Amino acid sequence: MAAFFVSEENQYLQLIQTILDRGSDEITRNGEVRSIFGYFMRFSLSDGILPLITTKNTAWKACFRELMWFISGCTDNQILIDQNVHIWDANGSREFLDSRGLGNLAENDLGPIYGHQWRHFNALYETCHTDYLGKGVDQLANIINALKDPEQRSSRRLVMSAWNPCQLDEMALPPCHILAQFNVRDGKYLSCSLYQRSGDVGLGVPFNIASYSFLTHILAKHCCLEAEDFVYCLGNAHIYKDHIEPLREQLKRQPYEFPKIRISSVKERIEDYTIEDVEWISPYQHHPTIKMKMIA
């Protein structure tokens, strides 16, 4: 008799079902949503597991390119557009920037968002083209230095924050995934815990799971560790009204096993990893794409 397969993806599907069954209907800044507050998931990353949602096609290449854009410290949406990644287009439009009172920023300049805070926390922001080398706090470099040091890697202070109250009003969009903490067990096994204040369950959450899992795999490789777990804590988890029916359709699908990857080699700098460095140990098997409108 074949072993019964239980996928960790069921945690995500249960989140959808919980919101549909018990969520509160609210009118928000950008439309009608059904939401809950507080949800927890844990995904194994052991042996190269990458928790890409399989009950629809998750655009993992766009996710990886956005992650490397964050890692580079970049806040220029044109760099993503040039790679055919359009996640930030609505937030970088002239109309949206003006609605945020950011007439000083050029179109597609997103202000001091994730990359700026990860690599230059609280450095005075000028434009997306300014050279910020040596300015602000390089939180990611500090974490990498600690992870590479056997005497520091067990620290409980390996925290990276994108939430900077001093600069929120300068950002095209205040960060949703705001606090990552890294933990090393037994001097070898690296895990990441993410706190996310706001999660778009239909479109954003599968990307966030994939992105921070990719990040943990890259950091593990870069620092001669092994990826173990991605722990995900959501504050406000919501489904936009227009996404309800597509997600009901997704709930009818049975998950496949998550794929497995390895990062091919150790680079000199964390910024140097590319999509070509991702090798697939087992393939990404998934159901067809489910179309949902991106809501800025």
CA Rg, the chain, in Å? Answer: 19
Q: How many CB atoms lie within 10 A of CB 271?
A: 14
The DSSP result for 152-181, as a single string, is: TTT-S--EEE---TTTGGGSSS--SEEEEE
Tokens for 20, please give them.
């549909």
Selecting among 63, 128, 176, 192, the annotated active-site residue is 176
The set of long-range contacts for 141-145, using a CB threshold of 8 Å and a minimum separation of 24, is: 141/270, 143/182, 143/219, 144/219, 144/222, 144/223, 144/270
Q: Alpha helix (H) ranges present in the chain?
A: 10-22, 60-72, 77-81, 94-99, 114-120, 139-148, 204-222, 244-251
The interaxial angle of helices 10-22 and 204-222, nearest 10 deg, is 150
Cα–Cα distance measured from residue 265 to residue 247, given in angstroms and rounded to the nearest whole number: 38
Question: Is there a catalytic annotation at residue 176?
Answer: yes
Tokens for 194, please give them.
């993410």
Which residues participate in catalysis according to the annotation? Answer: 176
